[in-house]
Amino acid sequence: MCVRSLSVVCCLLCASLLSAAELEWIQVSADGKSFVTAESHQRFVPWGFNYDHDRDGRLLEDYWNKEWSAIEDDFKEMKQLGANVVRIHIQFGKFMSAPDQPRAEALKKLGDLLTLAERTGLYIDLTGLGCYHKQDVPPWYDALNDQQRWEAQTHFWSAVAKQCAGSPAIFCYDLMNEPVVHGGKKKGTDWLGPGFAGKHFVQRITLSPDERTRPEIAAAWIKTLVEAIHKQDARHLITVGMVPWSLERKGLQSGFVPEKVSEHLDFICVHLYPEKGKLKEALETLKGFDIGKPLVIEETFPLKSSPEEFEQFMQESRQYADGWIGFYWGKPLKEYQQGKTIGDAIMARWLEFFKENGPRFKEVQ
């Protein structure tokens, strides 16, 4: 019995070491149009999940100290579903105690997460500067002016990049989820956009009017943060998660016009949720982000369309996209399949689609 137990332990240890060894660094291909592994030069297609909150809406930092085993289980299932990338969203207030003071305990926990990713064989899309729960945003952070806020953000990214620099598990750093440049002629009053399901995913990078154009401000902000990261980590890829209304079109605009702000980005990310009866429009929007750099649909889900239309969008998006990241919220597929609600049915179908189609989407086209 002892010999058998020892054999099992050795097998598990070997499997764990093998998973870590299999993770190669990811880089942009020589032609600048896709992703490849750094050593074997194999094509890499991001196919994964946003792991932005759990089934109860809690953010990762709210439970990772006391419920680590749940995170381990979630990583295991995401891997079993066929994911190779997990998008992690970390919150500014949980990582910074002052404008220039990172929290050592949060950075250590992030290191633990990277170790878990390496052991599981998953890459991390690390999205930072989150202020998703408005009540958790430090008052001192909101009180900063534009320049001071940017400086605090460089301290955040400098600390995070220093922690992550040596890990091949980092696929990329995403500077911020859905940033927007203030566009009013008067000074803004709120750094955060309107809430959605109790969370604030859109964030302004400025509140004060500026003589520069909005894309010029966005490009300067990106350059500032990229330079801070590169002082600690010059190897990992960097991007930013753009809203679909970043294109120069009539109506609402974010200021993050892809072709005008992407000089210092390694690839482009767009968040795109196709709407019912508007498949053509969604594909045209996606095409607008295809500017010659790798393009990842960093958020997508059948939120505004039927499952059939969404799956058609996914199929047709392959002509432009080089990667896809949907959602997983800590509830196993089996539980969704046994559920009784419409939400359970939608999520079950999404996860089934993800699992069944992963091999084909990850193929070299």
Cα gap 121→24, rounded to integer Å: 10
pLDDT per residue as tens digits for the range 94-131:
999 999 999 999 999 999 999 999 999 999 999 999 99
The H or E element spanning position 220 is helix 214-230
* Displacement of CA 31 from its chain's centroid (Å): 24
Token pair 């806020």 is found at 149
Report the sign of the C-alpha dihedral through residues 179, 184, 190, 194, in that order.
Answer: negative
Q: In the 8-state DSSP scheme, what is residue 196?
A: B
Q: Are strands 26-28 and 35-37 parallel, antiparallel or unpaired?
A: antiparallel
Distant-in-sequence, close-in-space partners of 209: CB < 8 Å, separation ≥ 6: 182, 184, 185, 186, 187
Q: Round the average pLDDT of the chain to a whole number and report it.
A: 93
Cα gap 313→213, rounded to integer Å: 33
- According to CATH, the superfamily of the domain at 27-361 is Glycosidases (3.20.20.80)
Please check whether residue 157 is in contact with residue 176, taking contact to mean a CB–CB distance below 8 angstroms.
Answer: no
Per-domain residue ranges of the chain: 27-361
Number of H helices, E strands in the chain: 12, 15
Amino acid (one-letter) located at 4: R
Please check whether residue 118 is in contact with residue 168, taking contact to mean a CB–CB distance below 8 angstroms.
Answer: yes
Cα gap 296→34, rounded to integer Å: 10
pLDDT per residue as tens digits for the range 225-279:
999 999 999 999 999 999 999 999 988 899 999 999 999 999 999 999 999 999 9
pLDDT per residue as tens digits for the range 137-155:
999 999 999 999 999 999 9
In angstroms, the Cα distances linking 34 to 52, 69, 124 are 25, 35, 17
Note the pTM of the prediction, 2 decimals. Answer: 0.93
